[in-house]
Amino acid sequence: SALSSSRPAKKEEERPPLRGFLLDGDFFVAAALATTLTKIALRYVALVQDQRKQNSFVAEAMLLMATILHLGKSSLPKKPITDDDVDRISLCLKVLSECSPLMKEIFNKECRQSLSHMLSAKLAEEKLSQKKESEKRNVTIQADDPISFMQLTAKNEMSSKEDQFQLSLLAAMGTTQRKEAADPLAEDALANSIEKPLHLGPEAAVTGHIRIRAKSQGMALSLGDKINLSQKKS
């Protein structure tokens, strides 16, 4: 009916940001707004001497807070207002209704000093954390880091646990050996082969390619003479 209050059917309707927060159930924004309105009203009362203007301004601020409380307890927002937000807004209403000198001192000065102390403490904490992070980055090796000795490392663990600094140092000194140069007969295994034409049948001649490495020149000459003699005999 027209007298009952219910949520609108449209979920994506255009509305002001503050109204959107309140209808979504975010009443902590309303509690912060009530505190701000209270501080503004108390400062207005201290600056303006006209009693009529003071009462009008304070009444408008209290009307806004009371309207927010009524909205929070209705079925319009997605989530109802919490008890903590109700207590904060009710306290602001009581402060504006009484306007005692103690409350003026607390809201106008003590709250500002508390906020300044909190921001200063937070800034000091951030600086301390940044200093610790910088000191932690500067320390590359911790006191309790394990030391790896290459002489005590097993051969199967060398690839994963070998110190990179030692590897680079050995490479710079030229004491490391390339894997392809470790086996001197690696190329000979590829060069040695046997050729036999398949289309000539089983009685065809077989050609063999053999590479012989000799440690001395005399050994190579003697091997060459023996091969030549065997070829002449055949």
Q: What is the pLDDT of residue 59?
A: 93
Q: How far apart are alpha carbons 21 and 83 in whole angstroms?
A: 17
**Whole-angstrom distance, CA of residue 132 vs CA of residue 120:** 18
What is the rounded distance in angstroms from the CA atom of residue 156 to the CA atom of residue 63? 81
Cα Rg, the chain, nearest whole Å: 46
Beta-carbon contacts of 134 under 8 Å, excluding residues fewer than 6 positions away, are none
Q: What per-residue confidence (pLDDT) applies to 102?
A: 85
Percent helix, strand and coil across the chain, each rounded to 5? 65, 5, 35
The pLDDT of residue 168: 62
Q: Is the pLDDT of residue 2 over 50?
A: no
User: What is this structure's pTM?
Assistant: 0.47
pLDDT tens for residues 133-186? 777 776 555 666 666 665 666 666 555 555 565 666 666 665 555 544 445 555
Q: At what angle do helices 83-98 and 51-72 cross, to 10 degrees?
A: 170
Residue 210 burial (CB count, 10 A): 10
If one compares 92 and 149, the residue with the highest pLDDT of the two is 92
Give pairs for 145-154: CB < 8 Å, separation 24+: none
Give the range among 23-27, 80-84, 188-192 with minimum mean pLDDT.
188-192
φ and ψ of 193, to 5 deg: -155, 165
Tokens of 17: 């940001």
State the pLDDT confidence band at 89, using cuts at 50, 70 and 90.
Answer: very high
Query: Is residue 114 over pLDDT 80?
Result: yes
pLDDT tens, residue by residue, 30-79: 999 999 999 999 999 889 889 899 999 999 999 999 999 999 988 888 88
- Domain ranges for the chain, please list them: 17-99
Lowest-pLDDT range of 22-26, 170-174, 229-233 = 229-233
Q: How confident is the model at residue 112 (pLDDT cuts 50, 70, 90)?
A: confident
Mutual orientation of helices 51-72 and 28-47 as an angle, nearest 10°?
170
Q: Tokens standing for 101?
A: 């000198």
Average pLDDT over residues 12-28: 83
Render the burial of 148-159: b for 16+ CB within 10 Å, e for the rest.
Answer: eeeeeeeeeeee
Report the mean per-residue pLDDT for the chain. Answer: 73
- For position 1, what pLDDT does the model report? 42
Give yes or no for residue 119 having a pLDDT over 60: yes
Enumerate residues 6+ apart whose C-beta is below 8 A from 95.
Answer: 38, 42, 103, 107
Name the pLDDT band for 6 (thresholds 50, 70, 90): low
> Residue 90 has what pLDDT?
92
Using one digit for the tens of pLDDT, what is the confidence trace for 182-225? 455 555 544 455 555 555 566 666 666 566 555 555 555 555 55
